[in-house]
Amino acid sequence: MQRVSSKATFYYKRIFPIIFFGILLLVTVAPLLAGSGSGQFPPLQVFIIPAIMAGFGYFVMWKLVFDLVDEVWDDGDALVVRNGTAQDRIALSDIKNVSYSVLTAPPRVTLSLRRPSTFGPTVTFCAPLRFIPFSTSPIIDELIDRIDAKRKSRRSS
């Protein structure tokens, strides 16, 4: 089996949120600790701006990162999808549409399914990262061509 999803998915889903919210927490707590010795309370902006950033960051991660599955593997005529302990096998002929967005970070691939899988009617994963910005992945391009060929052969049958 060939891996279709990015190995950086773990970083995007698990490591980056911890770093992001940890830095925001540090930025919020540091003025409190610095001001505690002098008895002065830091200005309100020290707390409002990180709270707004945390809310906005969570919203963006909820829309772009938290819905990504952990791994997608190509197994010939099907894709093996893993997210945590859940796993499902999706036939290429059961995929009705592929949406591939390279202009987001991380680059996303969304598979719309004819029948809902364990993960619902759509499966979204992170495309393999490329060194050339905004370029498509040859692995995903080839997968889209194979899915299209399966779709055409299904219609002619």
What pLDDT score does 33 carry?
79
125 closest CA partner among 145, 96, 100, 151: 100
The secondary structure of 47-71, three-state, reads HHHHHHHHHHHHHHHHHHCCCECCE
Report, in angstroms and rounded to the nearest whole number, the Rg of the chain calculated over CA atoms: 21
3-state DSSP percent of the chain in helix, strand and coil, to 5: 45, 25, 25
* DSSP state, residue 8: T
Structure tokens at 86: 């859940």
What pLDDT score does 70 carry?
96
**Full residue range of the structural domain in which residue 45 is found:** 1-157
Q: Are 20 and 26 in contact (CB under 8 A)?
A: no
Neighbours of 1 (CB within 10 A): 10
Q: Are 68 and 81 in contact (CB under 8 A)?
A: no
Structure tokens at 150: 């399966």
| Ordered mean pLDDT values, 10 residues apiece, the chain (157 residues) | 93 96 92 73 84 96 94 93 95 92 89 93 92 85 90 71
CATH number at residue 100: 2.30.29.30
Would the CA dihedral through 29, 35, 39, 41 be positive or negative?
Answer: negative
What pLDDT score does 36 carry?
65
Number of domains in the chain: 1
